[in-house]
Structure 1
Amino acid sequence: MAQKTDREAGQVQIWDLPTRIFHWALVAFVGGCFVTAKLGGNLMVYHIYSGLMVLGLLLFRMVWGVVGSRTARFSHFVRGPRAAWQYARSLTGSHPQHVLGHNPLGGWSIVAMLLALVIQATTGLFANDEIFTYGPLYSMVSEATSIRLTEIHRLNQGVIAGLVGLHLLAVLFYLGVKRENLIMPMINGRKPGSPSPKTELKTPPLWVALLVLAFAAASVYFIGW
């Protein structure tokens, strides 16, 4: 039997491949950062490597949020407070606003998550544990500055954990209450819907994503290695 097309199966493409790879790679390396930080010891070297990978992914996402496909762009999902409030109110009804990609409320949670991770990754570059682990750029600041940035780095762990918790609760809310699976679209890129020229997702050529990736990788290599 021939495989059904998205139109025949009632599927809409909402996430491009680079965005999906970024998402799951970020999950893996942020998780690695938390695990290695808690275990400490010789694993701290891997904590630094994981942190640099997170920084590289964030650099990629910042650029991809400008040049990527429509749903990946910040201009698509970063809306004003009024739009976020109206969407939040619609959740109390049986038919919330239908949005391709991040909804106005979720868009702000993504911005908050990315901002918290940027703070964590950048402060980690200058942090130290006062034993034997030092960030790649530790020598570029004074000891007092490094101590202050290290404290921010530690405190911000709780902020990130809280944001991750809210993100997971939102996913469970949509799955259990609204009967909308947000996980599968981030795996296969598609969600149920009616394909049309208006909803067609146009993804930039692969070379654009590879160029952005090369920029992010070169930046991290210059910083950390």
Structure 2
Amino acid sequence: MNPNLSNSSTQSAPTVLVWDLLVRIFHWSLVGFFSLSYVTGDSGSQVHILSGYTIAGLLGFRLVWGIIGTQHARFSDFVSHPGTILQYLQSIVSGTARRYLGHNPAGGIMILLLLSGLTVTVFTGTMLAGFEGQGPLASSPILQLDEHWIEEVHEVTASILVFAVLLHVSGVIFSSRMHQENLVKAMITGRKKQQEKDHD
């Protein structure tokens, strides 16, 4: 097949709304507030604490929207069996990976890892605020745990999250090149090209 014809058909493919407005607002808000939390982490300032609480609210919303939201926002749409994830990774290596309208299996597990890591980071951060007499855990029995250990978990998890974000961005760039579509733009507009062989 002529690659120019393939590129032309990709460019002219009709678009369909994949990411609803709330998913897009959540995504870019999370990018902003996680970045703010990370750069203010050493200061322990009110900005850092408030950005952490905002992330907690965003995570709460995403949990609910992952259950009752639109098709590609739901966990049921992108949470895959480990075997499916492995098969997808193997198909990437062999160059036969299918294109997904929503998250592909590798992207889906990355989303779960990011959300889980953020939950741990926010919870341990709330505990650290509690040790200082602030926040909803200020008088909680859970504060009997060792503060130094909680701080270590908080910092290590945040660092792992940065690495995971870099992997996520690398995956987005790779998929964009492989399927000849700007996935960053898709998360701004909400729309992606629809092709006959897409996995819904």
Cross-structure match for 1:175: 176
Structure 2 letter corresponding to 1:66: I
- The residue type equivalent to 1:27 in the other structure is V
The one-character-per-residue Cα deviations of 1:75-118 (angstroms, maximum 9, x if unpaired) are: 11001011111211222344421212101111001000000000
| TM-score (normalizing by structure 2) | 0.83
The alpha-carbon distance between structure 1 residues 9 and 80, as it changes in their structure 2 partners (threshold 3 A), is closer
Letter in 1 for 2:53: L
> Counterpart in 2 of 1:34?
38
Deviates more, 1:168-177 or 1:152-161: 168-177
Which structure 2 residue ranges, 5 or more long, are not aligned? 1-11
CA 56–118 in structure 1, closer or farther in 2 if over 3 Å, else same: same
CA distance, structure 1, for counterparts of residue 195 and residue 181 of structure 2: 16
Kindly provide the amino acid, as one letter, of the partner of residue 15 in structure 1. W
**How far apart are the structure 2 equivalents of 1:13 and 1:192?**
9
Q: Which amino acid aligns with 1:138?
A: A
1:89 matched residue in structure 2 = 90
RMSD (Å) for aligned C-alpha atoms: 2.4
Q: Tell me, in whole angstroms, the C-alpha distance in 1 between the residues paired with 2:73 and 2:85.
A: 18
Q: Please give the alpha-carbon distance, in whole angstroms, between the structure 2 residues aligned to 1:58 and 1:164.
A: 16
- Percent identity at matched positions? 37
TM-score (normalised: structure 1)? 0.74
Paired residue for 1:107? Answer: 108
Deviations, residues 25-58 of structure 1 (Å, cap 9, x unaligned): 00000011001114x16xx110000000000000
Answer whether contact 2:121 2:157 (CA < 8 A) is retained: yes
| Aligned counterparts of 2:151 and 2:130: Cα–Cα separation in 1 | 8
Given the alignment of the two structures, is residue 155 of structure 1 paired with residue 159 of structure 2, yes or no? no
Check conservation: 1:126, 1:134, Cα contact below 8 A.
no
Partner of 1:116: 117
Query: Is 1:12 matched with 2:13?
Result: no
Q: Does 1:56 align with 2:57?
A: yes
Cα distance change on mapping 1:126 and 1:91 into 2, 3 Å: same
Q: Which amino acid aligns with 1:125?
A: T
- 1:24 maps to what in 2? 28
Number of aligned positions between the proteins:
185
1:178-219 deviation digits (Å, cap 9, x = unpaired): 433211111111111149xx96xxxxxxxxxxxxxxxxxxxx
Could you tell me how far apart the structure 1 residues matched to 2:134 and 2:92 are? Answer: 44
1:1-48 Cα deviation digits (max 9, x unpaired): xxxxxxx9610211111011100000000011001114x16xx11000
